[in-house]
Amino acid sequence: MVSIEAGAVHNPFTIIALISVLRMAATAATDLNQTSLLQAFVRLLLGGDEIIDSEELGMDYRRRVHLLGELAHRVHATEDKSILVQEVEAFLLEYFKTKALQVSAGQVLRSLIDRGILVERNDRISFRHPALLNLFLAEWMLAKAETDRMEEMLSDCRANAGAIVHAAAIRRDENLLLERVGISHTASSRR
């Protein structure tokens, strides 16, 4: 039996994600909240269960998630939550260079668009839905080697609320995160 957290299904994007995930694992018994639902949907979109790299891009599921986390951080910093295609390609080239990967930035970008994670509109790249941006931003925020990332995001809980909610759902035992969110919630309740 599938149990869905109250309020988890509240927009068409979430409904599509839910249907896709449930069709993939129709017999799986699990509790779904919005974050776990989105993670399962992303796993489906990014080929988390693929055994071979059918695109021959040298990008497995984990590399795609890490890359999208880094990109989410850049996109989140912009006012309109999008970046020029040329800037994304330059970012990808630099990212692959620092990781010593021989990968085509253009082909990876096209793959992420084709997989439904990113969209291109008016020569700009953005995440298909704010929920995806926030999920990948949460993944970026929780990177183990980068504790300053969490501090950066928690410095403005209101502006980063979407990512922080996903981060709290992903890492439910992260004391700093839970403590800071609690302080922020208490302070805003007093206003």
Give, in order, the Cα–Cα distances in Å from 104 to each of 55, 56, 58, 59, 109: 11, 10, 9, 10, 9
Domain ranges in the chain?
Answer: 2-45
Distance of CA 106 to the CA centre of its chain: 20
Residue 79 and residue 96: Cα distance in Å, rounded? 26
pTM of the model: 0.76
Q: Hunting for tokens 């449930």 — which residue is that?
A: 22
Phi, psi torsion values for 169, nearest 5 degrees:
-75, -35
Residue 36 and residue 31: Cα distance in Å, rounded? 8
Q: What is the pLDDT of residue 155?
A: 80
Q: What is the pLDDT of residue 11?
A: 56
Q: What is the pLDDT of residue 22?
A: 59
Tell me the mean pLDDT per 10 residues along the chain, length 191.
45 60 53 78 83 76 92 96 97 94 92 94 96 93 76 83 83 71 52 49
Check if the beta carbon of residue 54 is closer than 8 Å to that of residue 115. Answer: no
Q: What is the pLDDT of residue 9?
A: 47
Produce one character per residue of 134-150: b if its CB has 16 or more CB atoms within 10 Å, e if not. bbbbbbbbbeeeeeebb
Phi, psi torsion values for 153, nearest 5 degrees:
-70, -40
Q: Hunting for tokens 């990808």 — which residue is that?
A: 92
Distance of CA 120 to the CA centre of its chain: 17
Residue 99 and residue 81: Cα distance in Å, rounded? 25
Q: What is the pLDDT of residue 6?
A: 45
Q: What is the pLDDT of residue 27?
A: 44
Q: What is the pLDDT of residue 77?
A: 94
